[in-house]
């Protein structure tokens, strides 16, 4: 029996802050209190430090094929980076494979085949993990298969109102999926943009010779996101089903979410750090492709409204939408002592429609938000824990195993040094790419030690974890609405 005692720390939950010791046995929290008497215990002195539950990132894309390349973090490198940032649980996405032709000899396709393929890729994860199902086509066979997802441990579906001809399903299909989810205790996630308007504007921009990165944002108008969000809330209301709006990036989405929640709709929202800090001005920089993601970064006014939505409880979570690519994949970087180069954003040099959409952020989330949120007074430490750990754990059926430091919870403990100062950037990043969005930012507050189920995996800059030590987290249906 392995026993660990973390002493003299200040425990921060989503609702309270208090002095506490944490006793851990066999990877679980055995007790929270003081003056524990336990012989032969490994003791970690956390004097002057905070004790936070490991972060839960509800939105990551690892080893994701796109535009002839693949996102540069796989399930090992991405989860290693997550751990260095204080995140011990991530939720990835399962892709729906193409239909299997009759008599093809393929054992299974559809949802079952997608989950099976993803489980193999994810086995190398270094922290605990789960997945959402991308619902990118809809027919009778898929509808019949959806209720089997909870039996595979997956209770969430993602749908799109953009990416016509690739990822989008029509509103009627979204409505049907919402009703199936309702009847089986599942939750639908929605990417809100207007795909029809985007297609028109992209074609016009290319015809006019507009090919630089800022045109990615100009062809994906904010009003399209606002309209799609309200339309999705209306579909959810009509279906009497819960809905979770991913990567909110526009002030109007905050307004629509508030409007819907005030009327009793079972809807929730998530934003990401990039939408709190960056604007379309960054896309106009010479290296603007670094900031190209979908949906795009917007304006300073949108940044400010999103912060307000976090502070007043309109928005429930902060994920990352971590989907990194090299800025220049022709030049290798050193990762764990080996050179690696993966084709990246240079693929779209001269044409914004060919730039892989996505940003690194899985490691950056907690340190950057602590400085910019808690350090500035925009958020309390308790709100920080709620938004980055407890709320996503509750919404996605992982609480109290994750997102809490309670007796019986997994001992995912972050010893946080609120006074540690660093000049942040790619030199401190373990994300497998060649740039960092926060290069040169002066941060105060960093993880000092990170435990996964009672095992120390990050000690300062020392990596003690390994590929494959993460566990798949099957989730139960019927998680509460926050």
What pLDDT score does 108 carry?
A: 57
CA 353 to CA 366: how far, in whole Å?
31
CATH 3.20.20.140 describes domain 54-395:
yes
- CATH 3.20.20.140 domain position(s) in the chain: 54-395
CA 204 to CA 218: how far, in whole Å?
11
What pLDDT score does 97 carry?
A: 87
pLDDT along the chain (482 residues), means of 10: 88 98 96 86 96 98 96 98 98 89 60 94 98 96 95 97 96 98 98 98 98 98 98 98 98 98 98 98 98 98 98 98 98 97 97 98 98 98 98 98 98 98 97 98 98 98 98 95 92
What pLDDT score does 107 carry?
A: 52
What pLDDT score does 441 carry?
A: 98
SS (H, E, C) 350-419: CCHHHCCCCECCCCCHHHHHHHHHHCCCCCCHHHHHHHHHHHHHHHCCCCCCCCCCCCCCECCEEEEEEE
CATH (residue range 3-52+403-463): 2.30.40.10
What pLDDT score does 100 carry?
A: 67
* Strands (DSSP E) found in 299-352: 317-318, 333-335, 338-340
Q: Determine contact, residues 116/158, Cβ cutoff 8 Å.
A: no
What pLDDT score does 1 carry?
A: 46
pTM exceeding the 0.85 threshold for the entire prediction: yes
What pLDDT score does 101 carry?
A: 64
Q: Residue-wise over 121-149: b if at least 16 C-beta within 10 A, else e?
A: ebebbbbbbbbbbbbbbbeeebeeebbeb
- CATH 2.30.40.10 domain position(s) in the chain: 3-52+403-463
């Amino acid at each position: 029996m392995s026993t660990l005692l973390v002493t003299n720390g200040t425990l921060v939950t989503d609702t309270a802050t208090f002095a506490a010791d944490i006793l851990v046995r066999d990877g679980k929290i055995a007790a929270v209190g003081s003056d524990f008497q336990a012989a032969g215990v490994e003791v970690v002195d956390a004097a002057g430090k905070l004790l936070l539950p490991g972060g839960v990132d509800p939105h990551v894309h690892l080893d994701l094929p796109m535009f002839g390349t693949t996102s540069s973090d796989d399930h090992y490198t991405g989860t290693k980076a997550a751990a260095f940032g204080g995140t011990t649980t991530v939720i990835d996405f399962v892709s729906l494979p193409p239909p299997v032709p009759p008599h093809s000899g393929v054992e299974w396709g559809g949802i079952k085949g997608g989950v099976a393929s993803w489980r193999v890729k994810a086995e190398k994860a270094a922290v605990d993990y789960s997945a959402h199902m991308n619902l990118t086509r809809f027919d009778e066979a898929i509808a019949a298969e959806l209720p089997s997802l909870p039996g595979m441990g997956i209770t969430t579906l993602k749908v799109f109102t953009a990416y016509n001809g690739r990822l989008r399903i029509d509103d009627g299909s979204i409505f049907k999926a919402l009703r199936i989810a309702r009847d089986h205790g599942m939750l639908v996630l929605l990417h809100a943009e207007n795909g029809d308007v985007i297609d028109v504007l992209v074609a016009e921009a290319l015809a006019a010779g507009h090919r630089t990165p800022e045109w990615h944002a100009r062809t994906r108008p904010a009003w399209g996101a606002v309209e799609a969000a309200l339309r999705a809330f209306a579909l959810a209301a009509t279906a009497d089903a819960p809905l979770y709006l991913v990567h909110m990036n526009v002030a109007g989405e905050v307004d629509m979410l508030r409007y819907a929640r005030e009327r009793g709709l079972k809807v929730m929202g998530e934003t990401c750090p990039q939408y709190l800090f960056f604007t379309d001005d960054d896309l106009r920089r010479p290296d603007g492709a670094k900031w190209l993601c979908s949906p795009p970064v917007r304006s300073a006014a949108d940044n400010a409204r999103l912060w307000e939505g976090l502070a007043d409880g309109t928005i429930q979570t902060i994920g990352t939408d971590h989907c990194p690519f090299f800025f220049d994949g022709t030049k290798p970087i050193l990762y764990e002592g080996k050179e690696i180069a993966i084709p990246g954003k240079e693929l779209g040099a001269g044409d914004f429609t060919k730039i892989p959409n996505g940003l690194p952020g899985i490691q950056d989330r907690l340190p950057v938000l602590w400085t910019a949120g808690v350090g500035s007074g925009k958020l309390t430490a308790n709100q920080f824990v709620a938004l980055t750990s407890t709320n996503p754990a509750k919404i996605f059926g992982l609480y109290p195993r994750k997102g809490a430091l309670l007796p019986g919870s997994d001992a995912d403990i972050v010893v946080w040094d609120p006074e540690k100062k660093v000049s942040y950037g790619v030199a401190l990043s373990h994300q497998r790419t060649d740039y960092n969005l926060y290069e040169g930012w002066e941060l105060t507050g960093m993880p000092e030690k990170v435990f996964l189920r009672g095992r120390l995996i990050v000690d300062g800059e020392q990596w003690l974890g390994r590929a494959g030590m993460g566990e798949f987290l099957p989730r139960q249906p019927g998680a509460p609405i926050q």
